[in-house]
């Protein structure tokens, strides 16, 4: 649950909202299992940031990020942490915000439901690469390309390409299994996925208004 004594810094909320309310992010519209990743979902995250039902902090001694991480979302505390002065002129950083906000959408939608952890992570990767496609004037020449040595990004981009322009579409199940296998094989995720193969989100506090 978000910290009742904390009020989000307005400048940080504006910074994240500019990404999540952008036309490119609002175009996202696909489903996987019980997950519905849509513009409405990202607007729900913005509203939760506005009234501090989701906390947002810049990383510091208390709110820590791993050295190679630009942003994170913790579903049990409803907390997003970003690097200080994160440069959102860089598409790679904006796609990271979309990835973490997708986890916040999952927190809203999957409260109380057991979900395969790989499904949640795979869906967030697909969301960020679909955002990259929609942010590129020419989808065949992306403004931000995957690392050729990173199978997670390569497979997620492949899936995102299959979804682009098809509102409400569902990824190919075999492709999602390959993406899940790549995530499981990654040193970044492997141990945590082994120890916690299933997760149950606790939800985000509902707004006071109807």
Q: Give the 3-state DSSP-derived string for the chain, with helices as H, strands as E and coil as C.
A: CCCCCCCCCHHHHHHHHHHHCCHHHHCCEEEECCEEEEHHHHHHHHHHHHCCCCEEEECCCCCCCCCCCCEEEECCCCEEEECCCCCCCCHHHHHHHHHHHHHHHHHHHCECCEEEHHHHHHHHHHHHHHHHHHCCCECCECCCCCCCCCHHHHHHHHHHHHHCCCCCECCCHHHHHHHHHHHHHCCCCHHHHHHCCEEEECCCCCCCCC
pLDDT on residue 208: 85
Model pLDDT, residue 1: 59
The pLDDT of residue 33 is 96
- Max Cα separation, the chain? 48
What are the angstrom distances between the C-alpha of 57 and each of 21, 37, 72, 73, 88? 19, 24, 10, 11, 16
List CB contacts of 40: < 8 A, sequence separation 6 or more.
none
pLDDT at 5: 85
* pLDDT recorded at residue 188: 87
Q: What is the per-residue pLDDT for 175?
A: 98
- Give pTM, 2 decimals: 0.95
Average pLDDT per consecutive 10 residues, the chain (210 residues; last block may be shorter): 83 97 98 98 98 97 93 96 94 97 98 95 98 95 94 98 98 98 92 91 88
pLDDT of residue 210: 62
């Amino acid at each position: 649950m978000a910290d009742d004594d904390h009020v989000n810094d307005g400048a940080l909320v504006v910074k994240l909202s500019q990404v999540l309310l952008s036309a490119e992010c609002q175009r996202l519209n696909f489903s996987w299992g019980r997950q519905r990743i849509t513009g409405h979902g990202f607007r729900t995250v913005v509203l939760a940031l506005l009234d501090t039902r989701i906390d947002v902090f810049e990383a510091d001694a208390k709110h820590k990020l791993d050295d190679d991480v630009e942003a994170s979302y913790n579903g049990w505390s409803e907390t997003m942490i970003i690097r200080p002065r994160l440069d959102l002129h860089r598409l790679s950083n904006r796609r990271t915000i979309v990835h973490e906000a997708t986890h916040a959408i999952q927190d809203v939608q999957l409260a109380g439901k057991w979900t395969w952890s790989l499904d949640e992570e795979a869906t967030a990767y697909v969301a960020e690469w679909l955002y990259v496609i929609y942010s590129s004037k020419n989808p065949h020449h992306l403004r931000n390309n995957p690392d050729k040595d990173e199978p997670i990004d390569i497979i997620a981009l492949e899936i995102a390409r299959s979804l682009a322009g098809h509102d409400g579409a569902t990824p190919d199940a075999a492709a999602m299994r390959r993406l899940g296998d790549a995530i499981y094989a990654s040193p970044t995720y492997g141990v945590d996925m082994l120890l916690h193969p299933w997760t149950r989100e606790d939800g985000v506090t509902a707004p006071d208004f109807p």
